[in-house]
Amino acid sequence: MGTYLARRLLLGLLTLVAITFIVYGLARNMPGTPLTVQLGESDPSRKLNPEDQERMQRIYGLDRPWPEGYVRWLGNVLRGDLGRSLSRKQPVTTLIRERIGPTLLVSGTAFLLAWTLAIPLGLFASARSGRPEERALSLLLYVLYSFPTFVAALFLQIIFAVRLQGTAWGLPLFGMTDLPPDAGTAARALDVARHAVLPIVCQTYVSLAYDSRFIKANMEEAVRQDYIRTARAKGAGPARVLVHHAFRNTLIPLVTLLGLSLPGLIGGSVIIEQIFTWPGMGRLFFESIRERDYPTIMGLTLLFSLLTLAGQLLADLLYCVVDPRVSVE
C-alpha cells in the first residue's frame, strides 16, 4: 500500500510538472502579452509607449525567455506563492478564493440534485427493464445526454429570460445578482437563487442523464450474476434484491465516477459560466486566457490538474475501501 501510494504520488508529481511546463510554454507563446492585449484592446491611445512597455516587461519578468520564467514560477509555487494576477492586480489565491464560492453554488447543487434523482431513476429503469415505461425513460435520458449544454442554455435563455420576461416565470438572463451590495441578506439570497436556477438546471441535466444511464448499465450487469438468483431463490423481495443485492454491488464503479467528477465540481464549467456570465472558476480561466494573464492561467491549470489527479487517486483508493476483494499491488 505504502509503495503503491508513493509511486502514484511520484508519478502524479511528474505529470503535474509536465502539464504546467507545457501550458506555461503555450501561454507565453500566445500572441500578445498581458500589457499589449489589455490596454490596446480597450483604447488604442492608451497603448504603452515603448520605454514604458520595456520597463513593465522587466518588472513582470517578461523580457526573459519562457523556460527561465517557468523555473521561477515553479520555485515560487514550491514556496506557496502563486503570484499576482497581471490584469486584476490581486494575488491569484485571492482570486481563486473569490471565485470558488459561486462555482460551488452551481456545481455543488447540480451535483447533489443529479445524484438524488439519478439513483432512483437508474434503479427504476433496471427494475422495469424492457417494459414500455423503461424504454421511454431510457430514450428520454439518451436524448438529454446528447443535448449539448450550450444549446440547452440558449434555449432556456430564450424561453425564460426573453419570452417569459415580465411574467411570474421570467428569470434573469445572466449575472449572479442585480442588487446593490448594501441590499439585505434575504433579498440578496433570493436574487442569487433566481440567477442560479438556469445554470444549475443546465449543469444538472447532463450529469443526471449520464449518471442514471451509468447506474442502469451497471445494474444490468449485476442482476445477471449468480448471487441475484440465489437471493431470489431464498425468498428476498424484488425491492430488497434490487437495492441490497444488486445495487450494493454496483457501488464500485459508482465510486470511481464520484472521484472523477471532483475536478468538475470545483473547476466548474467554462461554457455554462461563460453563457450565464457567472463569476466562477471556469469563467476566470477563460478570461485569463483572453487577457494573457499568465499567473492566473498557471494557477488555475495547476489547480485543475491537481484536482484531476487527486480525483483519480481518490477513485482508486475508494475502490479498495468499498470492495475488499480489490487490493492495490
Q: Which is nearer to another protein, 190 or 287 (CB)?
A: 287
For residue 148, the minimal CB distance to another protein (Å) is 6
- DSSP bridge pairs for 84: 91
3-state SS assignment for residue 66: helix
Query: Could you tell me how far CA 283 lies from the centroid of its own chain?
Result: 11
Nearer of residues 83 and 267 to another protein, judged by Cβ: 267
By beta-carbon proximity to another protein, the closer residue of 23 and 123 is 23
Cell of 103: 462555482
Q: Closest distance between another protein and the C-beta of residue 277, in Å?
A: 11
Q: For residue 109, with 0-12 CB atoms within 10 Å meaning exposed, 13-18 middle and 19 or more buried, which class applies?
A: middle
Residue numbers at the binding site for another protein (CB under 8 A): 11-12, 14-15, 18-19, 22-23, 26-27, 29-31, 130, 142-143, 145-148, 150-151, 154-155, 157-158, 161-162, 173, 220, 224, 263, 267, 270-271, 274-275, 285-286, 289, 297, 300-301, 304-305, 308-309, 312
User: 187 or 328: whose CB is closer to another protein?
Assistant: 328
Is 40 in a helix, a strand, or coil? helix
Minimum distance, C-beta of residue 44 to another protein, in the bound complex (Å): 19
Beta bridge partners of 91: 84
At its nearest, how many Å lie between another protein and the CB of residue 73? Answer: 15
Least separation in angstroms between residue 128's CB and another protein is 14
d(CA 326, CA 35): 54
Q: Which is nearer to another protein, 152 or 258 (CB)?
A: 152
Following CA atoms 134, 135, 139, 145 in sequence, which dihedral angle do they give, to the nearest 10 degrees? 40
Q: Torsion angle of alpha carbons 125, 128, 129, 134, nearest 10°? A: -60
